[in-house]
């Protein structure tokens, strides 16, 4: 729909409007620009401008249409609620439309909002209006329906009326219980609204993993959460570690279809109810404000602690607490008139792209790193920023000497939002991504790029840098987990020539180490003990620690389960690998390639000689729990007499599906399965209200 040329045009146009350089405001042009950015944001999950810039363009269009109502067309972006509908998922209708929010940016905007509410609700100036404050989570919005206490479906916001059916994906998320006792409060059908988000630290981890694997990285947590909801494979959604925070009960009726929302007097009570029912929410009590002045104070406090907040939030949402006043305010087509978003200032800065350097990873991926003029950004000085891969550089049209906008939201690693082509003077130099390994000196080593991969890789390393990365990975927590053996030690020993490959980790001279500056007998001993301990690691860890492309933790476990000894893999054929569920041809090929190289087999022999376990251990034999198992991460308890299985069978089944059996009813219990004649445990769970209660047949149906 948008080729590169067109995209560049729309981008330049946006800049023109944002810099107020558009001489005559062209309403059609502005609409096209907004449509383009909606597409980048909602369909591509990869916006090219900041949210507040989009808002500014949107407001310009709104202002233009307000002064020329005759020019409003039914297809104008202002005339519909933006849509993320695609053909990848069937559409389903929301029980009530999902609206958006109007924005405010300062205390003055908030006061105007308060005045407007007062006017609509016909309240006198001295009447204090109570507001609820909530973080404005920056992710993807979701509507979730429960019917008869059971999770029944989930949808994206879509165009506000129709959403995409993402039921199977949302069902994998541990923050969404599959059964909730709505019937206890008389609710038969409930539609909940919430935001899917990813913790900032998890997001950084995810991107680092993806970069190491040569995969495309995500621009920010919002796009990876929103995109994560719309994966074709539900397990991929689950693997993104998405959480859903609820912020509204959009619809609730009893068995007769009577509206139950009308029985809840305040927004706070509504939120409290959801919290009591076991959903994930900010502590609702903390967030009630007596009047708009308190709101103004509190939003500033939140803006200050935004960095420390574990999730990305781009502002706060201010909602009239009283349902009565809400009703009097009503709605526009686009947003409720009783709520407004208070947007935080964007954590962006402009700097200059001085140079691009390259780094090589453990499997040879070449990562370009921008060296920028040191810039203060959200509390840290930034001088290096990863540019991820060649496509990233091309898509952002980055040139050396460019002025660029960089952003750092919270603890998220800074990234380049865009270059500012309008500010070029002609001296800027396009970045030529190397085709020859930038570290090869005497000999030229060509880089290669696998089909469907984003990274160029050096697969024939002669300089040793990849070996260093491989060793760093080998000792890391994810691999052999050698406690206390950090990156800086590896680098030091590597420079000293003490470790050239991973087998040397097990051949260190601890007397020599204890003589090094900064070391002592004690730390050398500790390191020795950690290395000694790692030698008896399960085979799966050893396999994973070898840095074989695409051979992740899970695949390593699956393979380790099938072999007695690591050397068995020398004779494995593609078919042997493919017999294992969830192992595909790419991993099969890469493992075979690794084992067909004599040097690699010799390396494994050296590891064995130096005492590293190469045999299957008891823990390798343990059955891996599928990541899409229905009870994964949940605690479970069976009570009463079961009819269709023994208590032990039930426990085993629950365990094999990812649950942990516990013996008492407490807040730590997630699921109680109730057999016949259940007694005090059932009563206690009902009283707690946080435990999901199900019958034996319901358990079996879910287990199926
Ligand atoms: S209330 C009828 N509350 O922000 C009320 N929205 O810009 C409409 N969002 O589409 C939304 N946190 O996806 C509300 N605490 C919160 C929110 C929130 C994030 C999102 C939501 C909405 C968008 C509007």
- Tens of pLDDT, residues 48-77: 887 778 888 888 888 888 778 888 887 888
Considering only 388-402, 408-422, 534-548, which range has the smallest mean pLDDT? Answer: 408-422
Asked if 135 contacts 246 with a C-beta cutoff of 8 angstroms, the reply is: no
**pLDDT tens per residue, range 315-361:** 999 999 999 999 999 998 889 999 999 988 767 888 899 999 999 99
Q: What percent of the chain has pLDDT over 70?
A: 96
Of 36, 32, 55, residue with least CA distance to 44: 36
**pLDDT tens per residue, range 205-239:** 888 888 777 777 787 788 889 989 999 889 889 88
The structure tokens listed for 385 are: 């920023």
Cα 353 versus chain centre, distance: 28
User: For residue 622, is pLDDT > 80?
Assistant: no
Considering only 536-545, 622-631, 675-684, which range has the smallest mean pLDDT? Answer: 622-631
User: For residue 42, is pLDDT > 90?
Assistant: no
Of 145, 194, 147, 143, residue with least CA distance to 164: 143
Considering only 138-147, 187-196, 497-506, 630-639, which range has the smallest mean pLDDT? Answer: 630-639
Catalytic choice (136, 319, 347, 470): 136
140-154, 412-426, 648-662, range with greatest mean pLDDT: 140-154
Take atom 3 of ligand 1 and give the residue whose Cα is closest. Answer: 247
Q: State mean pLDDT over 637-657.
A: 82
User: For residue 22, is pLDDT > 70?
Assistant: no
DSSP β-bridge partners for residue 151: 146
Distance between CA atoms of 236 and 502, rounded to whole angstroms? 32
DSSP β-bridge partners for residue 47: none
Tell me the CA distances in angstroms from 700 to 10, 150, 185, 370, 642, one per residue in order.
55, 15, 26, 54, 11
Residue 141 Cα to ligand 1 midpoint, Å, equals 7
User: For residue 521, is pLDDT > 60?
Assistant: yes
pLDDT band at 677 (very low <50, low <70, confident <90, very high): confident
Pocket flag, ligand 1, residue 630 (CB < 6 Å)? no
Pocket flag, ligand 1, residue 139 (CB < 6 Å)? no
Residue from 84, 332, 341 to probe ligand 1 pocket by mutation (most atoms less than 8 Å from CB): 341
Pocket flag, ligand 1, residue 142 (CB < 6 Å)? no
Give the pLDDT confidence score for residue 625 in this predicted structure. 60
Pocket flag, ligand 1, residue 51 (CB < 6 Å)? no
Compute the chain's Rg from CA coordinates. 29
User: For residue 81, is pLDDT > 60?
Assistant: no
Q: Is 146 helix (H, G, I), strand (E, B) or coil?
A: strand
Residue 655 Cα to ligand 1 midpoint, Å, equals 37
Distance between CA atoms of 105 and 315, rounded to whole angstroms? 9
Pocket flag, ligand 1, residue 339 (CB < 6 Å)? yes
User: For residue 16, is pLDDT > 90?
Assistant: no
Helix (H), strand (E) counts: the chain:
25, 22
Pocket flag, ligand 1, residue 367 (CB < 6 Å)? no
Take atom 18 of ligand 1 and give the residue whose Cα is closest. Answer: 136
Residue 312 Cα to ligand 1 midpoint, Å, equals 14
Give the pLDDT confidence score for residue 107 in this predicted structure. 93
Q: State mean pLDDT over 673-680.
A: 84
Take atom 12 of ligand 1 and give the residue whose Cα is closest. Answer: 136
Distance between CA atoms of 185 and 276, rounded to whole angstroms? 11
More confident residue, 658 or 152: 152
The structure tokens listed for 189 are: 């059908």
Pocket flag, ligand 1, residue 99 (CB < 6 Å)? yes
Give the pLDDT confidence score for residue 663 in this predicted structure. 85
Distance between CA atoms of 194 and 160, rounded to whole angstroms? 14
Q: Is 136 designated active site? A: yes
Take atom 17 of ligand 1 and give the residue whose Cα is closest. Answer: 136
pLDDT band at 443 (very low <50, low <70, confident <90, very high): confident
**Nearest atom in ligand 1 to 140's CA:** 13
Give the pLDDT confidence score for residue 417 in this predicted structure. 87
Pocket flag, ligand 1, residue 50 (CB < 6 Å)? no
With a CB cutoff of 8 Å and minimum separation 6, the contacts of 234 are: 168, 169, 171, 172, 628
Considering only 136-150, 242-256, 281-295, 434-448, which range has the smallest mean pLDDT? Answer: 281-295
Q: State mean pLDDT over 616-627.
A: 76
**Burial class for 351, CB neighbours closer than 10 Å (0-12, 13-18, 19+):** buried
More confident residue, 163 or 452: 163
User: For residue 649, is pLDDT > 80?
Assistant: no
With a CB cutoff of 8 Å and minimum separation 6, the contacts of 405 are: 50, 348, 349, 350, 416, 417, 418, 419, 420
- pTM confidence score: 0.56
More confident residue, 84 or 404: 404
Distance between CA atoms of 229 and 168, rounded to whole angstroms? 10
Pocket flag, ligand 1, residue 248 (CB < 6 Å)? yes
In the chain, % helix, strand, coil (3-state, to 5) comes to 40, 20, 40
Q: What percent of the chain has pLDDT over 90?
A: 53
Pocket flag, ligand 1, residue 326 (CB < 6 Å)? no
Asked if 285 contacts 266 with a C-beta cutoff of 8 angstroms, the reply is: no
Across 257-274, b (16+ Cβ under 10 Å) vs e yields: eeebeeebebbbebbbbb
Of 368, 656, 645, 88, residue with least CA distance to 673: 645
Parallel, antiparallel, or unpaired: how do β-strands 692-695 and 671-674 relate?
A: parallel
Take atom 10 of ligand 1 and give the residue whose Cα is closest. Answer: 100
Give the pLDDT confidence score for residue 701 in this predicted structure. 77
Asked if 154 contacts 89 with a C-beta cutoff of 8 angstroms, the reply is: no
Residue spans of beta strands (DSSP E) within 222-347 = 243-253, 288-289, 313-320, 339-343
Take atom 23 of ligand 1 and give the residue whose Cα is closest. Answer: 100
Asked if 597 contacts 548 with a C-beta cutoff of 8 angstroms, the reply is: no
Q: Residue 569 has what DSSP assignment?
A: G
More confident residue, 463 or 188: 188
**pLDDT tens per residue, range 411-439:** 567 889 889 887 888 999 999 999 999 99
Cα 454 versus chain centre, distance: 20
Of 364, 559, 333, residue with least CA distance to 445: 364
Asked if 457 contacts 364 with a C-beta cutoff of 8 angstroms, the reply is: yes
Across 532-569, b (16+ Cβ under 10 Å) vs e yields: eebbebbbbbbbbbbbbbbbeebbbbbbbbbbeebeeb
The single residue listed with the structure tokens 């008389």 is 186
Across 96-132, b (16+ Cβ under 10 Å) vs e yields: eebbbbbbbeebebbeebbeebbebbeeeeeeebbbb
Distance between CA atoms of 97 and 93, rounded to whole angstroms? 8
**Nearest atom in ligand 1 to 141's CA:** 13
User: For residue 409, is pLDDT > 80?
Assistant: no
Across 231-245, b (16+ Cβ under 10 Å) vs e yields: beebebbbbbbbbbb
Residue from 55, 101, 299, 333 to probe ligand 1 pocket by mutation (most atoms less than 8 Å from CB): 101
Q: State mean pLDDT over 91-112.
A: 91
Residue 628 Cα to ligand 1 midpoint, Å, equals 29
Give the pLDDT confidence score for residue 378 in this predicted structure. 66
Distance between CA atoms of 295 and 287, rounded to whole angstroms? 9
**pLDDT tens per residue, range 635-646:** 999 998 887 777
What are the helix (H) ranges across 315-389?
Answer: 323-329
User: For residue 82, is pLDDT > 70?
Assistant: no
Mean pLDDT of all residues belonging to the chain: 88
Any idea how long the chain is? 704
Q: Which domains does the chain have, with CATH numbers?
A: 4-79 (1.10.287.610), 91-343 (3.30.470.30), 348-430 (2.40.50.140), 535-620 (1.10.150.20), 635-703 (3.40.50.10190)
Pocket flag, ligand 1, residue 587 (CB < 6 Å)? no
Pocket flag, ligand 1, residue 531 (CB < 6 Å)? no
Across 435-471, b (16+ Cβ under 10 Å) vs e yields: eebbbbeeeebebebeeebbbbbbeebebebbbbbbb
Take atom 9 of ligand 1 and give the residue whose Cα is closest. Answer: 136
Q: State mean pLDDT over 168-176.
A: 91
Residue 101 Cα to ligand 1 midpoint, Å, equals 6
Pocket flag, ligand 1, residue 137 (CB < 6 Å)? yes
Of 428, 427, 409, residue with least CA distance to 417: 409
Query: How many C-beta neighbours within 10 Å does residue 524 have?
Result: 19
Of 345, 354, 343, residue with least CA distance to 377: 345
Residue 100 Cα to ligand 1 midpoint, Å, equals 6
**Nearest atom in ligand 1 to 138's CA:** 19
**Nearest atom in ligand 1 to 136's CA:** 12
Query: How many C-beta neighbours within 10 Å does residue 323 have?
Result: 18
């Amino acid at each position: 729909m948008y080729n590169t040329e067109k995209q560049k045009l729309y981008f330049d146009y946006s800049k023109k409007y944002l810099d107020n350089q558009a001489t005559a405001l062209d309403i059609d042009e502005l609409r096209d620009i907004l449509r383009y950015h909606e597409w980048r944001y909602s369909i591509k999950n990869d916006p090219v401008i900041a949210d507040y810039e989009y808002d500014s363009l949107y407001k310009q269009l709104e202002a233009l249409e307000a002064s020329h109502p005759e020019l409003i067309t039914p297809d104008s972006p202002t005339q519909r609620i933006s849509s993320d509908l695609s053909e990848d998922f069937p559409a389903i209708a929301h029980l009530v439309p999902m609206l958006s929010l109007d924005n405010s940016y300062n205390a003055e905007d908030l006061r105007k909002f308060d005045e407007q509410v007062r006017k609509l609700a016909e309240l006198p100036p001295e009447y204090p209006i109570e507001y609820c404050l909530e973080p404005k989570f920056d992710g993807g919005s979701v509507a979730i329906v429960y019917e008869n206490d059971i999770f029944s479906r989930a949808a994206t916001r879509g165009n506000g009326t129709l959403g995409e059916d993402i039921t199977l994906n949302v069902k994998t998320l541990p923050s969404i219980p599959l059964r909730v006792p709505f019937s206890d409060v008389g609710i038969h059908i409930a539609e909940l609204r919430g935001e899917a988000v990813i913790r900032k630290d998890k997001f950084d981890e995810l991107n680092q993993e993806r970069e190491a694997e040569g995969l495309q990285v995500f621009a920010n947590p919002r796009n990876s959460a929103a995109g994560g909801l719309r994966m074709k494979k539900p397990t991929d959604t689950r693997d993104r570690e998405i959480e859903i925070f609820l912020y509204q009960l959009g619809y609730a009726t009893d068995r007769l279809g009577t509206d139950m929302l009308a029985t809840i007097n305040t927004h706070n009570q509504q939120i409290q109810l959801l919290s009591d029912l076991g959903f994930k929410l900010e502590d609702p009590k903390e967030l009630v404000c007596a009047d708009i002045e308190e709101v103004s104070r509190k939003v500033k406090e939140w803006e200050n602690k935004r960095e420390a907040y574990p999730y990305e939030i781009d502002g706060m949402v201010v909602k009239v607490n009283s349902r009565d006043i809400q009703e009097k305010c009503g709605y526009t087509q686009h947003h409720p008139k009783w709520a407004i978003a208070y947007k935080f200032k964007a954590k962006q800065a402009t700097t200059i792209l001085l140079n691009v350097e390259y780094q090589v990873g453990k499997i040879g991926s070449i990562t370009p790193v921008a060296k920028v003029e040191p810039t203060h950004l959200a509390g840290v000085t930034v001088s290096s920023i990863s540019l991820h891969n060649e496509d990233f550089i091309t898509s952002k049209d980055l040139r050396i000497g460019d002025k660029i906008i960089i952003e750092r939201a919270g603890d998220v690693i800074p990234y380049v939002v865009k270059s500012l082509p309008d500010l070029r003077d002609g001296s800027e130099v396009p970045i030529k991504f190397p085709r020859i390994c930038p570290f090869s000196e005497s000999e030229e080593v060509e880089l290669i790029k696998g089909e469907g991969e984003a990274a160029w890789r050096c697969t024939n390393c002669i300089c040793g840098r990849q070996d260093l990365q491989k060793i760093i990975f080998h000792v890391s927590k994810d691999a052999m987990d050698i406690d206390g053996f950090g990156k800086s030690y590896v680098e030091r020993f590597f420079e000293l020539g003490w470790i050239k490959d991973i087998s040397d980790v097990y051949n260190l001279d601890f007397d020599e180490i204890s003589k090094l500056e900064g070391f002592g007998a004690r730390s050398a001993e500790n390191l020795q003990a950690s290395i000694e301990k790692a030698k008896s690691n399960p085979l799966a860890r050893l396999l994973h620690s070898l840095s074989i492309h695409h051979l992740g933790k899970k695949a390593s476990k699956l393979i380790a389960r099938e072999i007695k000894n690591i050397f068995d893999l020398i004779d494995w054929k593609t078919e042997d690998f493919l017999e294992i569920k969830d192992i595909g041809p790419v991993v099969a090929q890469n493992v075979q390639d690794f084992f067909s190289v004599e040097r690699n087999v010799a390396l494994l022999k050296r590891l064995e000689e130096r005492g590293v376990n190469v045999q299957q251990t008891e823990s390798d034999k343990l059955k891996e729990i599928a990541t899409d198992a229905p009870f994964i991460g949940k605690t479970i308890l069976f009570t009463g007499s079961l009819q269709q299985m023994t208590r032990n069978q039930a426990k085993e089944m629950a365990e094999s599906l990812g649950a942990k059996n516990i013996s008492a009813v407490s807040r730590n219990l997630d699921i109680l399965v109730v057999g016949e004649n259940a007694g005090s445990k059932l009563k206690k769970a009902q009283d707690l209200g946080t435990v999901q209660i199900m019958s034996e047949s319901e358990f079996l149906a879910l287990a199926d």
